[in-house]
Amino acid sequence: MTSSTSNNEAVAREICANGLARHGASGVELAADVDRYWHCVAAKIEAGWVDDDGRLMPAPDHDEGLRAYRDWCQRHPESRKN
């Protein structure tokens, strides 16, 4: 994994964990959920849907969000080998 991809993963995991923890996830459950969803957050980061404070902004629409996620997965296939 490249350095920029690794940094993006770390940031995405942190944002994902913070969001999930606000909804009551913790411990093993939180770790499993972050493993499952961090890719979605990483796609939003690369699409510019994260503000300067690390807060996720809503996608303009659902279809655009899906396109951003699919594009991210195609550009970072190594991240899904876990």
The predicted model scores a pTM of 0.70
The span from the CA of 81 to the CA of 54, in Å, is: 26
> Domains in the chain: how many in total?
1
Q: For residue range 36-81, list pLDDT tens digits in order.
A: 999 989 988 888 888 777 787 876 788 888 888 899 889 888 876 6
The span from the CA of 61 to the CA of 11, in Å, is: 23
Q: Please name the amino acid found at residue 31.
A: A
Range of the domain at 30: 3-81
Of the pLDDT bands very low, low, confident and very high (cuts 50, 70, 90), residue 1 is very low
Supply φ then ψ for residue 56, to 5 degrees.
-75, 135
